Amino acid sequence: LPESLIIPKDLLLKREYFPSMVTRYDNRSLDLYLLLLAHSQAIDKREFFVSLEAMALSLGMPRSWKDTALRRQVIKSLKKLQSRYQLINVKFFYGRDAAVSLTGIPEGSFAVSSDSIIQIENSQLTMRLKFLLLIEALLKDEGKDLYSISKTALAKRFNVNVSTIKAAFSDLRNYKR
């Protein structure tokens, strides 16, 4: 993984991307997209091949599962990233790696430490908490402090329910960085 990940601001600000994933509890899609984005930035290419089995293991799926089960789960998530969120284009080849292309997200981005948001094995790093850490990085990039903005204002700006933001802050209090 690259040391820091460059995240397009619209992924947090537009309802149809990360806010929608958080609202739908779509953890695997968020984790998968972050891993794809990290891989893309590490190799400096927007189009690349992905080993479905290796990606499944990177997402924390059990090693005891058969390759077909691992592949099926990753294919399902890749299809969701393509059809529901329009964040990627993907082509599947029978029994082989998938060809992935990240779609164009408008300019404007911020950096976040890869280690802070990509920790699949860490159960304390909830999806809500990842979202809050991304919000914190974006605000820091804008010269603002996460704690200086009301939870209601955060919820409105980032298109989620205020209870999601409150729960994320609760997760943050219990999280050991």
Query: Could you list the pLDDT tens digit for every one of the 177 residues in the chain?
Result: 788 899 999 999 999 999 999 988 888 999 999 999 999 999 999 999 999 999 999 998 999 999 999 999 999 999 999 999 999 999 998 878 999 999 977 678 999 988 888 876 777 788 899 999 999 999 999 999 999 999 999 999 999 999 999 999 999 998 865
CA distance 82 to 88: 5
Query: What are the start-end ranges of the H helices in 24-66?
Result: 27-43, 52-58
- The dihedrals phi and psi of 14, each to the nearest 5 degrees, come to -95, 130
Q: What is the pLDDT of residue 123?
A: 73
- Residue carrying the six token digits 């909830």: 126
Q: What is the pLDDT of residue 106?
A: 66
Residue whose C-alpha is closest to residue 134's, from 16, 11, 1, 32: 11
CA distance 36 to 145: 29
Q: What is the pLDDT of residue 34?
A: 93
Q: What is the pLDDT of residue 131?
A: 94
pTM of the model: 0.89
Q: What is the pLDDT of residue 41?
A: 92
Supply the DSSP symbol for 160. S
In this structure, are residues 50 and 39 in contact, taking their beta carbons and an 8 Å threshold? yes
Residue whose C-alpha is closest to residue 149's, from 167, 136, 164, 133: 136
109: which strand partners? 8
Q: What is the pLDDT of residue 143?
A: 95
